[in-house]
Each structure stands twice: as structure tokens, then as C-alpha cells.
């Protein structure tokens, strides 16, 4: 019989040079030799534009059952997981789910907070896919797997609502064996103006109640650089943004590109618009999905400030002044693909964000000009939008826009700098305070820095040295044995790292009518350096079911509280006939072809 042990493995999220792809597994074998596995998060990683891949995912092949798309044969997982726990609905924590299902994988039972659950279900429905079952959980809920593993949910604060941390305790013969706190991404010094909150007392209480011979805490290292500034706080962020607008009263079109799933971003714009007495239009598929998920979950805080109709109605409504468009595009998604001609992505609402369409003058309704003020609230992050972000803003400025940026590590083309937003992750000082408190409760706590490159994880280690907390540095695909008060690397157990990545093969922009409008998605296994190993699957992007099915999503989502909202959704949905949608698409295609044939971009 196998001897009892608890293993912890990061499959993604502790990357060499990129951010994202968060995924970890706890594998516990109890005194009777029974093995239980639980997984935390399954996110996408932001790949470099020159790789040709849009995103990459942790390779979880051995953990999920799947249907081989070619032979239709069912392939059982070698190491099945009992459940997948999701910390929050950011792309780098949940972004792999849809494409794993498209590749034929069967998701294990999923547990997540209310907003996270609704967001994912809406995202699946909007893709015309069947909606996965997700158990809604909240802080304090304990999920037991036999008598050998239990997972407790705990509230954390982050830039998106309903963020949850998970404390896992394993048992051998009825006695605690190892404890792991996975915070996901988190803040401890400030709570979001909407949704659940971090509560230090409750957080420390979990450690108090549940200690084991080995105690681990995984620490989000995104913002633990020693130079990270003190937070300005939500109200100051709103005041600063409002002041920028007041300084530019001659400009009546405000464009605020945000991270679509950052409720914190949206909340600052909503509060600024409230002060200005105007309404916001949310432009971009993912922003609208965030709004719908907020409504379904019962967070209606933004409702009075968000314009309900379509963009044409918004732009022509004389009562709305100034026009304030919050759009997808803080990470300038699609710009480099477009400029490198990797794929013509202007048709795809996922691949090319709204702000990039505006910057390239491809947006069907919004034209940037001398009347435009661009609030570049999200700071530039080298690994994600270090090249494309500044380029996008410069393209906007070249069309006459006044661009104001939040200062970051990188200077962006002489634009005015105003602090308009904080990081959604705990800074060095907050991490130091939190961990000195945790150490008082659990003196032998061991910290594992995650969610960062080696340099960022090293910053967290320095903070831990300062407060006398032991640190264990790990990397992707390395198995750690927990037990007897220690963490050890499993010798010779680092398997070569690979990712599952996808690229979009889009129609020929020069007018080959035989290519389907929606193009293809190719899935590949790639090395750590994004070199292709083998093609996994190739799928048409055209919706499988009739487009009408997409709009019945609110019927599928059970939420008695929101019945009137659902009724409204159903009515608006009826207006969106598939015929009309197709006509709009065809029109966009026609206009683009005209632009190209004229020898434009």
C-alpha cells in the first residue's frame, strides 16, 4: 500500500516570463491508500504576440476525461480530480474552461462564488455552448471529500466581486496532516466598493481552527515589488479621474479602456459618471457579460448609470453629455496580431478589443477625434501590454485624442500622468503586515510565492525573510511533498513543461469569399517557449447551434430574484434576429473589404 502523503503541484501560474495560466492540484493519499485530488483554478496565460498564439492553458490532460474529437472514443483521466474550485472570474484563473470543453474535455464538478458562477455560465451560453453545472459556494462553506480532505471557502478582496480563497486540510487516520491556504489573487488593505470583503479576523480564524503538522500559504506576488506605491484608494481614484474630465471639458467623448473583468475599473468610471451626471455605455462583449453576471448575482449598484440601449441610440441621445464609453481594451488585445498580420481579427469580438478597433479606425460607430479624451486607467504591465498598450494609445493620440495615463514602470509617449487606479493585488507593505499576523497564529507557516515571474516571487521571499516566515520557491510542474512540518521537492519529478495553446485562423481580409466568416480555431500543444509540438484539434468558429439559441441563456439560468430582469432580457433578445445579426456582420465585412481594396491599412 502507498504510504500516506499530501502532494501540491502548480501546473501553471509560476511562470518564467509571463503572467497567467493559474492552476494547482492537491493530491492526498490517506492511511487506507485512497487518493483524492482537488484542483484550483484553470486560467489562460497571455502569450507573446510573436508566438502567433492567442493564449495558452495549463496542460491538465491527465486530470480530465475527454472524448477524442476524431475517433469519438472516450479517454479516461489517469488522475481524475474530485472537484475544480475557482477563486475568481479573471481570465488568468478561469479562461481555459471554454476551450477545454471545445477540445472535448469533460470538466469535473465546479465550485465557485455567485458572480464567478454566473459569469462562466453566461460566457458558455454566449458561445452557444451548453452551460456547465457550477455549485455556488460562499465564505464559511466546507466541502468534504470522505474523511481525508476538506476545503473551506474564505472571503478575500480583489478587483472583481465574489473572490474566494480556499483553505484545504488533509487528514491521515483522523488526524490533520497538511494545510494549504490558496488565496487566489488578493488585497488585504482595501475592499472593493461592491461585493464581498476581506476580513482579517475571519481570515486568521481559519488558520487558528485548522492547523496541521505542515502549514502552507500561497501568496499572490503580482504587486510585492519594493517600489510599489501606497494605494490612493477608491475615492481618490474617482476624484482624480473626475478632475481629468473637468480639465478637458472641451472634449465630449470620453473613452475608458478597461480590463473587462475588473469590476474595480468599471466602478471608478461608474462613480465618475455619477458625479458628472451622465450615463455610461459599455462597449465590448465581455463587459456586457460582466454587467449581466452582476445583475444575475444581485449586484445592481451600477444599474442607474449604465445606458440600456444600443450604441447608436446612446450616441444620438442629446440628453447624454458627455458621452462616456467604457470599453474593452486595457490590454490592447488584437493590436499586435493585426499589425503582424497573424490573423485578420477585426471580425472577432474576443480577439480584437473595442478600444483597439477605435485606435485602428475600424470601430463601426465610434470615431476618435479632437473631441476625445482617453482615460488610460490601467497601468501598462510589461508582460501583457508592454508593447501593444503604448502603441494603441499613440494611435488614438494621432487621431487627435487627449490621452491621460496612470503612471507605471514604463513611460508612455509623453502623455499627462495622473494616478487613476490602484493595483488589485496586495502590495509589499500589506503582505508584510498580513504575514506577520499569520505567523502569530501559525508560527511554522511556510509561504509559497505564486502568480508571478521568478523576480516577483523573489520580492515576496524578501518580505517573508523580514517577518521571519520560511519560504519555499517552486516552479511549474514541480511536485511538492507536504508533511512532518516540511515541504520537499519530489526528486526527479519535474516533467517537461508544455502548454495547450490556440490560434485563430481568420478569413482572408482581401476578399476570398469561400473562407467562412467565423474562421477556425487551432489548438496546439506547445513548449515552454511556445514552439508547436503537435496539433490537438481544429474547430470551426461558426456557432454549432442556431444563433437564436444563444439568446435563450437567461431562461437557463435559475435566479428567482431576478425574474423581471430576465423578462426584460428575453424581450430584448427577441429583437436580435439572427438575420439582422448576419446583416450587420456582412456589412462590416463589406466595409472592411472596401477599405482594403482602397489600399488603406
**Binding residues vs Zn ion (CB under 5 A):** 90, 185
What is the CB-side half-sphere exposure of residue 86 using CA atoms within 13 A? 33
User: What is the distance between the alpha carbons of residues 62 and 65, in angstroms, rounded to a whole number?
Assistant: 8
Which pairing describes strands 498-505 and 55-58: parallel, antiparallel, or unpaired? antiparallel
Identify which of residues 185 and 271 has a Cβ nearer to Zn ion in the complex: 185
Q: How far is the CB of 451 from Zn ion (least distance, A)?
A: 8
Cell of 379: 497601468
For helices 563-575 and 285-297, what crossing angle results, to 10°? 150
User: What is the distance between the alpha carbons of residues 100 and 104, in angstroms, rounded to a whole number?
Assistant: 7
Residue showing cell 464609453 = 325
Q: How far is the CB of 192 from Zn ion (least distance, A)?
A: 12
Identify which of residues 431 and 480 has a Cβ nearer to Zn ion in the complex: 431
Q: How far is the CB of 314 from Zn ion (least distance, A)?
A: 29
Identify which of residues 43 and 519 has a Cβ nearer to Zn ion in the complex: 43
Identify which of residues 27 and 92 has a Cβ nearer to Zn ion in the complex: 92
Cell of 256: 475608458
Nearest Cα neighbor of 336 from 318, 314, 315, 353 is: 353
Identify which of residues 30 and 91 has a Cβ nearer to Zn ion in the complex: 91
Identify which of residues 183 and 248 has a Cβ nearer to Zn ion in the complex: 183
User: What is the distance between the alpha carbons of residues 228 and 408, in angstroms, rounded to a whole number?
Assistant: 10
Q: Are 60 and 97 spatial neighbours (Cβ–Cβ below 8 Å)?
A: no
Q: How far is the CB of 317 from Zn ion (least distance, A)?
A: 34
Q: How far is the CB of 87 from Zn ion (least distance, A)?
A: 8
Identify which of residues 156 and 280 has a Cβ nearer to Zn ion in the complex: 156
Identify which of residues 28 and 90 has a Cβ nearer to Zn ion in the complex: 90
Rg (CA), the chain: 24
Q: How far is the CB of 228 from Zn ion (least distance, A)?
A: 16
Q: How far is the CB of 453 from Zn ion (least distance, A)?
A: 16
Nearest Cα neighbor of 405 from 390, 388, 385, 383 is: 390
Distances (CA, A) of 230 to 69, 129, 189, 220, 419: 51, 43, 10, 17, 11
Q: How far is the CB of 398 from Zn ion (least distance, A)?
A: 32
DSSP structure class, residue 378: S
Amino acid at each position: 500500500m502507498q504510504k500516506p502523503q499530501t502532494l501540491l503541484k502548480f501546473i501553471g501560474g509560476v511562470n518564467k516570463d509571463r503572467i497567467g495560466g493559474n492552476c494547482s492540484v492537491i493530491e492526498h493519499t490517506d492511511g487506507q491508500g485512497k487518493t483524492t485530488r482537488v484542483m484550483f483554478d484553470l486560467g489562460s496565460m497571455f502569450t507573446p504576440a510573436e508566438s502567433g498564439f492567442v493564449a495558452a492553458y495549463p496542460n491538465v490532460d491527465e486530470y480530465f476525461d475527454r472524448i477524442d474529437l476524431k475517433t469519438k472514443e472516450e479517454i479516461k483521466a489517469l488522475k481524475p480530480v474530485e472537484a475544480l474550485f475557482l477563486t475568481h472570474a479573471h481570465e488568468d484563473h478561469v479562461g481555459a474552461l471554454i476551450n477545454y470543453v471545445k477540445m472535448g474535455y469533460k470538466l469535473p464538478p465546479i465550485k465557485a462564488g455567485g458572480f464567478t458562477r454566473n459569469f462562466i455560465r453566461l460566457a458558455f451560453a454566449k458561445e452557444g455552448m451548453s452551460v456547465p453545472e457550477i455549485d455556488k459556494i460562499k465564505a464559511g462553506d466546507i466541502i468534504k471529500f470522505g474523511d481525508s480532505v476538506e476545503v473551506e471557502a474564505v472571503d478575500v478582496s480583489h478587483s472583481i466581486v465574489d473572490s474566494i480563497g480556499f483553505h484545504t486540510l488533509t487528514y491521515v487516520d483522523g488526524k490533520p496532516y497538511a494545510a494549504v491556504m490558496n488565496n487566489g489573487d488578493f488585497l488585504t488593505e482595501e475592499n472593493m466598493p461592491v461585493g464581498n470583503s476581506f476580513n482579517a479576523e475571519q481570515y486568521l480564524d481559519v488558520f487558528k481552527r485548522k492547523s496541521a503538522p505542515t502549514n502552507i500559504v500561497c501568496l499572490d506576488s503580482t504587486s510585492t515589488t519594493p517600489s510599489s506605491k501606497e494605494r490612493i484608494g477608491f475615492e481618490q481614484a474617482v476624484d482624480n479621474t473626475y478632475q481629468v474630465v473637468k480639465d478637458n471639458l472641451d472634449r465630449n467623448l470620453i473613452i475608458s479602456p478597461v480590463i473587462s473583468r475588473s469590476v474595480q475599473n468599471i466602478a471608478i468610471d461608474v462613480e465618475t459618471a455619477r458625479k458628472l451626471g451622465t450615463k455610461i455605455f459599455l462597449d465590448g462583449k465581455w463587459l456586457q457579460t460582466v454587467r449581466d453576471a452582476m445583475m444575475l448575482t444581485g449586484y445592481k449598484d451600477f444599474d442607474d448609470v449604465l445606458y440600456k440601449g444600443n450604441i447608436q441610440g446612446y450616441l444620438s441621445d442629446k440628453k447624454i453629455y458627455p458621452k462616456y464609453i467604457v470599453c474593452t481594451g486595457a490590454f490592447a488585445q488584437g493590436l499586435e496580431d493585426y499589425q503582424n498580420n497573424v490573423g485578420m481579427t477585426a471580425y472577432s469580438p474576443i480577439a480584437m478589443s473595442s478600444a483597439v478597433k477605435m485606435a485602428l479606425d475600424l470601430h463601426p460607430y465610434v470615431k476618435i477625434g479632437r473631441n476625445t479624451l482617453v482615460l488610460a486607467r490601467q497601468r501598462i504591465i510589461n508582460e501583457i501590454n508592454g508593447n501593444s498598450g503604448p502603441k494603441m494609445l499613440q494611435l488614438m493620440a494621432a487621431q487627435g485624442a487627449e490621452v491621460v495615463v496612470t503612471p507605471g514602470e514604463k513611460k508612455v509617449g509623453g502623455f499627462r500622468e495622473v494616478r487613476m487606479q490602484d493595483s488589485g493585488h496586495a502590495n509589499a507593505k500589506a503582505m508584510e503586515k498580513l504575514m506577520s499576523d499569520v505567523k502569530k497564529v501559525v508560527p511554522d507557516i511556510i509561504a509559497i510565492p505564486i502568480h508571478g515571474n521568478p523576480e516577483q516571487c523573489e520580492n515576496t521571499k524578501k518580505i517573508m525573510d523580514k517577518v521571519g516566515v520560511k519560504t519555499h520557491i517552486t516552479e511549474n510542474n514541480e511536485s511538492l511533498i507536504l508533511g512532518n512540518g516540511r515541504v520537499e521537492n519530489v526528486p526527479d519529478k519535474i516533467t517537461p513543461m508544455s502548454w495547450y495553446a490556440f490560434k485563430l485562423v481568420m478569413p482572408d481580409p482581401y476578399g476570398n469569399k469561400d473562407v467562412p466568416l467565423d474562421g477556425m480555431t487551432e489548438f496546439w500543444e506547445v513548449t515552454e517557449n511556445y514552439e508547436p509540438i503537435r496539433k490537438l484539434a481544429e474547430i470551426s468558429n461558426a456557432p454549432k447551434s442556431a444563433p437564436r439559441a444563444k439568446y435563450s441563456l437567461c431562461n437557463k439560468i435559475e435566479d428567482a430574484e431576478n425574474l423581471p430582469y430576465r423578462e426584460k432580457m428575453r424581450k430584448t433578445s427577441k429583437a436580435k434576429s439572427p438575420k439582422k445579426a448576419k446583416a450587420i456582420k456582412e456589412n462590416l465585412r463589406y466595409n472592411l473589404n472596401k477599405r482594403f481594396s482602397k489600399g488603406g491599412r
